[in-house]
Chain A
Amino acid sequence: MMQTEEFQPRIVAFVCNWCTYIAADAAGVARARYSPNVRLIRTMCSGRVDPQFVLGAFEKGADGVLLCGCHPRDCHYSVGNYKALRRYKLLKKMLSQMGFEDDRFRLEWISASEAEKFRKVVEDMTERVRRLGPFKPNGSSTPNGGK
């Protein structure tokens, strides 16, 4: 059987400086291997992530967007993650109305010590988005190879 080259999704992760960024550093220190598809953008708090960043990411060619912050009650600025959660829900609704598949946009709470969770989330997200195939701006993305 001919093996067609596997689709390599491009995923942007907005990560909070105090938790998920550190978890990603810790994953490095632990030499945890994960797929290179996820690219991190650091903000001070998940609450800084403007919906236009998420839309901008899709517009600029991302196939998926991951938003990561501190666990509930753990935000360095006490409640920034709740604001992020609220925005996430709104945005999620809007994206689904626009025809975005559910797996393209995801929110995860990952604390500084959860390097392994970070790795798993990255792997899982990559796999799910890979299955969805490339994102097409008009909402009609093509599933990968029909498998």
Chain B
Amino acid sequence: MTNEEARIGVYVCDCGFNIAGVVNVPQVVGYARGLKGVVICREYKYMCSSPGQESIQKDIQDLNLNRVVVASCSPHLHEATFRRAAEQAGMNPFLVHMVNIREHVSWVTKDKKEATEKAKSLIAAGVARVVRHSPLERRQVPVRSDVLIIGGGIAGIQAALTAADAGRHVYLVEREPSIGGHMAKFDKTFPTLDCAACILTPKMTAVKNHPDITLLSYSEVVAVDGYVGNFKVKVKRKPRYVDETKCVGCFECIEECVYKTAKFPSEFELGLGMRKPIYIPFPQAIPLVAVIDPETCIEFKTRQCKKTCVAACGDRGAIDFNQKEATVDLEVGAIIVSTGFHVFDAARMTNYGYGVLPGVYHALEVERLAASNGPTGGEIVLRDGRKPAAVGIVHCVGSRDEHYNPYCSKVCCMYSLKLAHLVKERTGAEVYNFYIDMRTPGKGYEEFYHRLLAENLHLVRGKVAEVTRIAEAAKEEGKLVIVAEDTLLGGIRRVPVDMVILSVAMEPQPDREEVRRMLNMSCSSEGFFLEKHPKLAPVSTMSDGIFIAGACQGPKDIPETVAQAGAAAAEAIALTSKGFITLEPNLAYIEEQLCSGCQVCIPLCPYDAIELDREKMVARISDVLCKGCGVCVAACPSGAAAQRMFEDDQIMLELAGVLSR
């Protein structure tokens, strides 16, 4: 092919006004027509549309083209489109090259003349390079059908059920003793105010009962190796000191613990409720298996406890003080990451008094107070047991604030309204919501807002400056005073209340960096996992075979989380259903005649893909192990190591091209 004369077609896209509004496309076309090997150059409004693709296909056939260059948007967007088009017209897809004149030229260059010149140089480079392309075959590798899901909140639960219903075997890894995530902590969910447990518990039970789901709770993924279709995963299982296969979740051990009352802060109750050293985080926990906390258990501290729990467990013999941390090795084809979010630490905004003033709560704590399975049995009361007569809810705490998070957490206005309703319903208190903008877009959401307005909620538009105990008037004595600017009335308002609820932001998980590195993903600037494309590939990541769902991708509510989880499951199912996948042919190879056997390349390969053929004394690269980074190629002193799609001469010609103008 390389000896055959190049017959190149160049296609320059207007992308409506996106490109043509800045780049002088007719001039670029005229220029490209003069480049060596170019047989035809066309301009079209939308190259990626069907007529655009068809014009390329027609030219390939009618004009006998053997190379195609498309100058349009980023190859990350449409390379696959144009390769497929060429393939359908009988051309090897790797004889197509894309030149990015939208993201890298028209969208970033002010001056039209400069943009046009830059576009010309990039096209010159593409034309020069494509001449050296050769037809390549994609690799086919087998794909495992099992799916790993990391994080068992509503996102992970939904994705697990969908994938398992499609016949995949799912490993669901959750680091807490129970699945359920944040949703398990809520009493009601907006906008329907349906009981959270009533919709979540059946799904959690379905996870437990599904024959195709292996639930690994109280576990964490510690290493991921391999590549799309063939990931090797290490899961660390923390010891519960209770044998999961023997425990029946009867709670008898907990009753009989030598501690007669629960006196240790419960993690699940955010410290508002207490637990014993042996506990089940909440009555609907899945798996319904007790856990022993070695930090507080007397047996672990003194080895001299009466072990009344063991006696209570009796014949079942589930309690095992000698349980050790265990490692499980898994091999899966696809991974869904659904590690959720973390609530903003309200203590960071010292002017609101969280952690100092006992009457100041954050929203998740109040969710627990409102929950019928919570520490107060659903009574919304202060720490001293009093019912509040007036409650202030502060929106946007840690959101839309350049000192903390510039973004909107999307759910806070809605959950603030929900909490306002619950507070009114349970206590009859006067409720004041302090908001900056009321954001209620979503199906049935604006209606929910109007419903709350009818409940005689006091709405104050303005940012809260501080929450203080310092009274300036008799009616403020013994109260918490919320000081805010009322931007509708104009002027400062002081509202005395008994309870303050801070509507905290949804933030990325504190361990996102470790998770991201382990899975080779990227984070957006806020720290949420980055999708491959915000519109067209919202649950995919730049790492093939790794998908994201739920709040780990960005703040979102339950309906959106569930929809995304379904989408991620569908992607994982699609990936693992054919039994094999095709991979890009950008692998390294060795030209044996040139290889001196110096072995410089061998230790450089991150995947141990290179070995020495001792008979011929040349290096050899395994197609299965090579991932195509090209590190060995750049290091080879003899020019023997080469990489398909990124050959030295292709890059050198591209260089000459970009420097030609």
Count of chain B residues with a beta carbon within 8 Å of a chain A beta carbon: 50
* A-contact bits for B114-154, CB 8 A (1 contact / 0 none): 11011001100100000000000000000000000000000
Q: Is A2 an interface position by the 8 A CB rule? A: no
Are A50 and B633 interface neighbours, CB within 8 A? yes
Q: How far is the CA of A114 from the CA of B522 in the complex (A)?
A: 11
Query: Are A48 and B646 in contact (CB-based, < 8 A)?
Result: yes
Q: State whether A36 and B115 are in contact (beta carbons under 8 Å apart), knowing that A60-B655, A62-B659 are contacts in the complex.
A: yes
Q: Produce 1/0 per residue, A10-54, CB < 8 A to B.
A: 101000001101101101110111111001110111011111110
Taking a contact as CB atoms under 8 Å apart, the answer to whether A45 and B631 are in contact is yes
Contact B648 A50 (CB under 8 A): yes
Contact with A along B625-661 (1 / 0, CB 8 A): 0011111011100000001001010011011101100
Report whether B522 and A48 are in contact in the complex, using a CB–CB cutoff of 8 Å.
no
* Pairwise interchain contact A10-B659, C-beta atoms closer than 8 A: yes
Name the one of B523, B606, B658 contacting A39, with C-beta atoms under 8 angstroms. B658
In the complex formed, the residue of B with least CB distance to A47 is B631
Indicate if the CB atoms of A44 and B628 lie closer than 8 Å: yes
Interchain CB contact under 8 A, A39 and B659: yes
Complex contact A78–B606 (CB within 8 A)? yes
The interface bits of chain A over 111-143 (1 if a CB of B lies within 8 angstroms of the residue's CB, else 0) are: 111100001000000000000000000000000
B659: chain A residues within 8 A (beta carbon): 10, 12, 39, 57, 60-62
A43–B651 contact, CB under 8 A? yes
Contact A111 B108 (CB under 8 A): no
Q: A83: CB under 8 A from chain B?
A: yes
Question: In the complex, which residues of chain B have a beta carbon less than 8 angstroms from the beta carbon of A10?
Answer: 659
Looking at chain A, what size class is its interface with the partner chain? Answer: 35 or more
Is there contact, CB below 8 Å, between A45 and B630?
yes
- Distance (whole angstroms) from the CB of A28 to the closest CB of chain B: 3
* B20 CB, min distance to chain A CBs, angstroms: 16
Chain A: CB-nearest residue to B633: A48
Interface string of B211-237 (1 = CB under 8 A from A): 000000000000000000000000000
Segment of B27-35, B99-107, B310-318 engaged in the interface with chain A: B99-107
Interface presence of A79 (CB below 8 A):
yes
Contact of A48 among B74, B102, B643 (CB under 8 A): B643
A77 to B587, CA, bound (A): 13
A73-B627 contact, Cβ under 8 Å, with A49-B634, A78-B606: no
Contact of B630 with A73 in the complex, beta carbons under 8 Å: no
Interchain CB contact under 8 A, B634 and A50: yes
Which chain B residues border A18 with CB–CB below 8 Å? 522, 542
Also in contact, A74 and B121, with CB within 8 A (given A29-B103, A48-B630): no
Q: Is the CB of B118 within 8 A of A77?
A: no
- Asked whether A31 lies within 8 Å of B630 as measured between CB atoms, the reply is no
- Residue among B525, B648, B659 having the largest count of chain A Cβ atoms under 10 Å: B659
Instruction: State which of A25, A33, A41, A87 has its C-beta within 8 Å of the C-beta of B654.
Output: A41
A89 to chain B, nearest CB (A): 14
**Chain B contacts for A61, CB-based, 8 A:** 659
B591-620 contacts to A (CB < 8 Å): 604, 606-607
B520, CB-defined interface residue at 8 Å:
yes
Chain A residues whose CB sits within 8 angstroms of the CB of B115 once the complex forms: 36
B469 is an interface residue with CB less than 8 A from chain A = no
Chain A: CB-nearest residue to B523 = A113
Q: State whether A28 touches B118 (Cβ < 8 A).
A: no
Q: Are A47 and B628 in contact (CB under 8 A)?
A: no
Q: From residue B328, how far is it (CB to closest CB) to chain A in Å?
A: 23
- Is residue A56 contacting chain B, with contact meaning CB distance below 8 A? yes
- Chain A residues positioned under 8 Å from B651 (CB to CB): 41, 43, 53
Give the shortest distance, in Å, between A107 (CB) and chain B (any CB): 14
Give chain A nearest CB distance to B490 CB in angstroms. Answer: 36
- Rounded to whole Å, the gap between the CB of A51 and the closest CB of chain B is 8
Q: Are B629 and A48 in contact (CB under 8 A)?
A: yes
Report the Cα distance A69→B478, complex, angstroms. 59
Question: How far does the alpha carbon of A21 sit from the alpha carbon of B76 in the complex, in Å?
Answer: 9
A62 to B517, CA, bound (A): 35
A33 and B110 in contact (CB under 8 A), knowing A44-B586, A50-B648?
yes
Per-residue 0/1 for B376-408: is the Cβ within 8 Å of any A Cβ (1 yes, 0 no)?
000000000000000000000000000000000
A47-B658 contact given A31-B107, A73-B517, CB 8 Å threshold:
no
Per-residue contact bits, chain A 63-102, to B (CB 8 Å; 1 contact, 0 not): 0000000000110111110010001000000000000000
Q: How far is the CA of A118 from the CA of B149 in the complex (A)?
A: 34
**Residue B2 lies at the interface, judged by CB distance under 8 Å to chain A:** no
CB distance from B536 to the nearest CB of A (A): 12
Note all chain B residues with C-beta closer than 8 A to A119.
Answer: 108
How far is the CB of A104 from the nearest CB of chain B, in Å?
Answer: 14
B114 contacts which chain A residues (CB < 8 A)? 35-36
Residue B524 is within 8 A (CB to CB) of chain A in the complex? yes
CB B224 to nearest CB in A, in angstroms, measures 12
Q: A24-B103, A36-B111 are in contact. Are A77 and B117 (CB under 8 A)?
A: no
Decide: B631 and A57 in contact? CB cutoff 8 A: no
Q: Are B630 and A87 in contact (CB under 8 A)?
A: no
Given the known A-B contacts A36-B115, A47-B634, A48-B643, are A53 and B652 also in contact in the complex, defined by CB atoms under 8 Å? yes
Nearest residue in A to B105 (C-beta to C-beta)?
A36
Q: From residue A32, how far is it (CB to closest CB) to chain B in Å?
A: 6
CB B639 to nearest CB in A, in angstroms, measures: 9
Q: Is B109 an interface residue (CB 8 A)?
A: yes
Q: Does B480 contact A (CB under 8 A)?
A: no
Contact B634 A83 (CB under 8 A): yes
B565 at the A interface (CB under 8 A): no
Instruction: Determine the distance from Cα of A60 to Cα of B659 in the docked complex, in whole angstroms.
Output: 7
The answer to whether A22 touches B634, judged by C-beta atoms less than 8 angstroms apart, is no
Q: How far is the CB of B314 from chain A (nearest CB, A)?
A: 51
Chain B, Cβ-Cβ closest to A111: B522
The docked-state distance in angstroms from the alpha carbon of A87 to that of B633 is 13
B530 on the interface (CB 8 Å rule)? yes
Interchain CB contact under 8 A, B104 and A44: no
A28 to B105 alpha-carbon distance, docked (Å): 8
**A-chain residues with CB within 8 Å of residue B654 when the two chains form the complex:** 41
**Which residue of B117, B125, B542, B629 is within 8 Å of A80 (Cβ)?**
B629
Query: Please, which residues of chain A bring their CB within 8 A of the CB of B633?
Result: 48, 50
Write the residues of chain A forming the contact surface with B, with a CB cutoff of 8 angstroms.
10, 12, 18-19, 21-22, 24-25, 27-29, 31-36, 39-41, 43-45, 47-53, 56-57, 60-62, 73-74, 76-80, 83, 87, 111-114, 119
Q: Can you spell out 15 A-B residue pairs with CB atoms less than 8 angstroms apart?
A: A12-B658, A27-B108, A28-B108, A29-B103, A29-B107, A32-B108, A43-B630, A44-B586, A52-B648, A60-B655, A80-B606, A83-B604, A83-B631, A83-B634, A113-B523
Given A40-B658, A50-B648, A113-B522, 11 extra CB contacts under 8 A? A12-B658, A21-B76, A39-B658, A40-B104, A41-B658, A45-B629, A53-B651, A76-B543, A78-B606, A79-B606, A112-B522
The 6 closest A-B pairs by CB, nearest first: A28-B103, A48-B630, A77-B629, A47-B631, A39-B658, A28-B107
